[in-house]
């Protein structure tokens, strides 16, 4: 395939560099995916505890559905939920 030593060395060097780039990319993608999942998990847990903290009084005294709906809409707006 490659007859000259220059071509063989160039091909080998390019293959090694591309392999290293691919391995580093997979490693970084894995790290970033784990970070994103951890961040979302923590964010959702904080939002859930905040909503629970504010709604516990409404639920203990048996608030009507309109008050709970207003509270839910207000909380979703404040925590930028959909």
Count the domains in the chain.
1
Chain segment 33-72, per-residue pLDDT in tens: 999 999 999 998 988 888 888 788 878 887 778 888 888 8
Give dist(CA 21, CA 12) in Å, integer: 14
Nearest to 55 by CA among 71, 43, 66, 70: 71
pTM over 0.75: no
Task: Find the domain containing 9 and state its range.
Answer: 5-78
């Amino acid at each position: 395939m490659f007859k000259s030593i220059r071509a063989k060395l160039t091909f080998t060097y390019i293959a090694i560099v591309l392999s290293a780039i691919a391995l580093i990319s997979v490693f970084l993608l894995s790290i970033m995916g784990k970070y994103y999942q951890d961040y979302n998990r923590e964010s959702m847990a904080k939002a859930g505890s905040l909503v629970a903290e504010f709604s516990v009084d409404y639920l203990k005294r048996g608030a009507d559905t309109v008050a709970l709906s207003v509270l839910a809409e207000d909380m979703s707006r404040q925590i930028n939920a959909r």
